[in-house]
Amino acid sequence: MKKPILNRWLIGICLCLILASLACALPFSGGSRPTAPAAPAASASQPPWLNFGSDCQPIKSYATSGGSPNKLDEFGKVVGLLPKDQVTCFLEVQICSDIIARTKVINQAAGESCPPELHFSSYAPQTPICCAAWKAAKASKTPCDPLLDSDCDGRLNAVDQYLLDPAK
């Protein structure tokens, strides 16, 4: 009885290690390590961490997505294993050392697959972020709390398909 649980646990650990090694070794867009991005065009509808001037040295956001046999909490931390044939689909976006995680549990035996909005390449592309402005907004909650609404578009991160694009 304990062997299948141990096997699922080992598979989950191996999957996590593989994903972590890929995340550390390979950039997710382009063929080289990201360099400092240029400042975006000014826009009144963007929060200050997306609409910054030359006084800021931006850092690109970083995202990963995939599936795991582990049960994850709202912060993306492993809190146990899922039943057989269930998978946690996840999207994790790192912004200035903060992680915004979105998850959905699917049943592979029922033919379900991870939804496209949890794939980093379409819904969380690398985006230049001014971390000083991000951190100031976290402290002041002005113009919004970026941990709850990372692009200040009025849609909470939990339901916003495009976490860093206020136009979408």
Region at 81 (left for phi over 0; alpha for psi -120 to 50; beta for the rest): beta
d(CA 22, CA 37): 23
Question: Per-residue confidence of the chain (168 residues) as pLDDT tens digits?
Answer: 444 444 454 455 444 444 443 333 333 333 333 333 343 444 458 899 999 888 999 999 999 999 999 988 777 788 999 999 999 998 899 999 999 988 899 999 999 999 988 888 777 889 999 999 999 999 999 999 999 999 999 999 988 888 888 888
What's the pLDDT at 18? 43
- pTM (two decimals): 0.67
What's the pLDDT at 19? 42
Of 115, 116, 119, 130, the C-alpha closest to 51 is 130
SS3 state of residue 121: helix
